[in-house]
Amino acid sequence: MTMRKRDPEVLIPAMLDGDRIALARLITMVENRTAATASIMSRVYAKCGHALTVGITGPPGAGKSTITSCLIQHLRDDGKSVGVVAIDPSSPFSGGSVLGDRIRMQKHFLDPEVFIRSVSTRGTHGGLARCGRDVARLFDAFGKDVVVIETVGVGQTELDIMEVADTVAVVLVPESGDTVQVMKAGLLEIADVFVVNKADRDGALRMRTELEMMLSLKTNTGEGTWRVPVLMSQASKAEGTMEILEACLAHGEVCRSAEASENRARRLRDEVLEICEEEIMRRLRAGADSGAIAELLKSVGSGDVDPYRGALDILEDADLLAKALRCNDA
């Protein structure tokens, strides 16, 4: 059967039956944020919820890709299938990925039980592409046991990974600075596991000790009995990486068994609003040139109407807003 490249009605059943090509095409559609994105994700959502999602984050050069490669190997040795969402920075002009340094994972490319996909941030903040959550869910629906999300190393804006991953491992190196800087970056709040990589370098033991002291002073956030470990590793030699995986898997079990229903409900409510925000903007932009609001926007562009008045006119005119939101570029 010839698969129609952009027909979700064909691609979704094929992907759920284990077709890697269909999965790749659906990921492309989701990454491009097409009009079908919300519908695609709604249809596969019921198949999600089985995979453990692990976030790997930290500053540039900390060794996140090397650690991710080691985790993949350990998981494969244990017979588990793996999906990897590698979030890359993107060009502000083309929107395309400009990092593409997946050379450290190249030995896994030919493994049929490993699917690695690089996704560009397309200018979004937080180091986590807008579609990162959706791609992780596609991997989940596809049947992957573990999904690893490796984020862009951009320091203080890594915080949104905690809204996507079940477990977040923050990777640091002795050169990352003192724990005050770690606290300022907000990493103390998002880490379920701390990793001091390149532990053979000067200052590694001092950083571990300082992190452990800061964690001991941290107010209990109510996440059961989990105590955030501070692990040492030399990922380039695969030393300490099994302990990282074991800690992530252990936290995932604790999280699933003890996660407060209130916290889960909050995350889902927030996600609905994020989806609405994205979909509303997509529809408004689709009708900006020829849709219901085109004339109003033309008046704003010519200076006859100021942008604030223009926005209020759209929001306060229920009929105009409804016509604008019905615009669909599918």
Nearest to 137 by CA among 39, 57, 27, 34: 27
C-alpha torsion 141→143→149→150, nearest 10: -140
In the predicted model, is pLDDT for residue 115 greater than 70?
Answer: yes
Q: Are 99 and 82 in contact (CB under 8 A)?
A: no
pLDDT at 161: 80
In the predicted model, is pLDDT for residue 126 greater than 90?
Answer: no
Predicted confidence band of residue 94 (pLDDT cuts 50, 70, 90):
very low
Q: Are 201 and 229 in contact (CB under 8 A)?
A: no
Return the H-helix or E-strand segment holding 210: helix 204-217
Q: Are 95 and 122 in contact (CB under 8 A)?
A: yes
Q: Which fold has domain 50-258?
A: Rossmann fold (3.40.50)
Q: Is 80 exposed, middle or buried (0-12, 13-18, 19+ CB in 10 A)?
A: middle
In the predicted model, is pLDDT for residue 219 greater than 80?
Answer: no
Residue 268 phi/psi, 5-degree rounding, is -70, -40
Helix, strand, coil shares, percent, the chain, to 5 = 50, 15, 35
Task: Tell me the per-residue pLDDT of 315-330, one tens digit each, with 9 for 90 and over.
Answer: 999 999 999 898 655 4
Please give the structure tokens belonging to residue 183.
């606290």
Which tops the pLDDT comparison, 287 or 247?
247
DSSP state of 62: S
Q: Which residue has the tokens 């397309």?
A: 122
Predicted confidence band of residue 217 (pLDDT cuts 50, 70, 90):
confident
All CATH 3.40.50.300 domain ranges of the chain, comma separated, are: 50-258
DSSP state of 98: S
Q: For residues 155 and 151, what is the distance between their CA atoms, to the nearest angstrom? A: 10
Q: Mean pLDDT for the chain?
A: 84
Max mean pLDDT among 71-75, 132-136, 214-218 falls in 71-75
CA 257 centroid distance within chain: 23
pLDDT at 180: 60
**List of residues 6+ apart from 276 with CB closer than 8 A:** none
Task: Tell me the per-residue pLDDT of 306-318, one tens digit each, with 9 for 90 and over.
Answer: 999 999 999 999 9
pLDDT at 95: 47
Report, as an integer, the average pLDDT of 7-16: 94
Prediction pTM value: 0.86
